Amino acid sequence: MAEFTDREQEEIDRANESGLRPVVFVHGLWLLSSSWDRWRAFFEDQGYITLAPGWPDDPETVEAAKADPEVFANKMITQVTDHYLAAIAQLTIDPAVVGHSFGGLIAQRIAGEGVAAVTVAIDSAPFRGVLLLPASSLKSAAPVLTHPASVGKSVSLTFEQFSFGWSNALTEEEGRQLYDEYHVPAARNPLFQAATANLNPFTQAKVDTGNHERGPLLIISGDEDNTAGPAIQHAIFALQEKNPAVTQLVDIPGRGHSLTIDHGWKEVAEIAIGFVREHE
């Protein structure tokens, strides 16, 4: 049985007591659930109730995360997905699910289980069947992929690495502000799992794109993303659009991987909530 923090359980209970459509936010690597705080306030102002579980054993604050980086070690894609599925299983109303980066992959895994009313995947990490990994994505993942002996450990990005993979479409000043405010260590395992997904038929980095109960899906792509850029998002769309449910792709010009936390977050949130409202 999944174990939830007091905060997570309180958010689940609050959602059920509200009677409103829940929106579950799923963060990716190098962020915490608090990175969704502005999105949550925005969605709740529009009549939804929100919850943002962390990955299992995530610290609650950036300061705590930086003080104990190895708390992120050994996390695996299925373990994280199961944590969110267990939270959703407690909800009395099927939720909308919004995920970014590896959270976008997990959101699609959740949709593939048929338990999401509607799903939004933003600059999603690739999964089995996505054959193209651009050079920029490999360079962005290099801090992990070039150290295979470090599987099972955590990794932090230098500011230079964050600037290339996340804030390349921003000023250096804003990039530094985001790095200081949001960046935390991350598990190495999920990146290895995604990078080798097409070599391993038993990989955890896979999505059931064919489930007829998947529900509507929106894929949002920042067209200057160096981490999970347009080529990856278009390849994901090509796999997902074979599903009989509604599948849409929106390209946002001039946006990098930081698009959910930078100054333009609200533009992305408005696209996401518009899709949720139309298809819930």
Model pTM score: 0.93
Helical ranges in the chain per DSSP H: 6-18, 37-45, 62-67, 77-89, 102-112, 135-145, 159-165, 172-182, 189-195, 230-240, 265-279
The reported pLDDT for the residue numbered 273 is 98
The reported pLDDT for the residue numbered 22 is 98
What is the spatial distance between Cα 249 and Cα 100, in angstroms, rounded to a whole number? 14
Which pair of tokens denotes residue 32? 């915490």
The reported pLDDT for the residue numbered 74 is 82
**Cα 252 to the center of its chain, rounded Å:** 17
The reported pLDDT for the residue numbered 149 is 46
Residue with tokens 């109730």: 49
Give pLDDT < 50 ranges for the chain.
149
Sign of CA dihedral 24, 43, 162, 111: positive
Q: 118 to each of 33, 135, 162, 184, 199, how far by Cα in Å?
A: 20, 32, 31, 29, 30
- Per-residue pLDDT of 203-229, as tens digits, reads 888 999 999 999 999 999 999 999 999
What is the spatial distance between Cα 113 and Cα 210, in angstroms, rounded to a whole number? 10
Residues 26/97, Cβ–Cβ less than 8 Å: yes
**Residue ranges of domains in the chain, CATH in brackets:** 6-279 (3.40.50.1820)
Residues 250/271, Cβ–Cβ less than 8 Å: yes
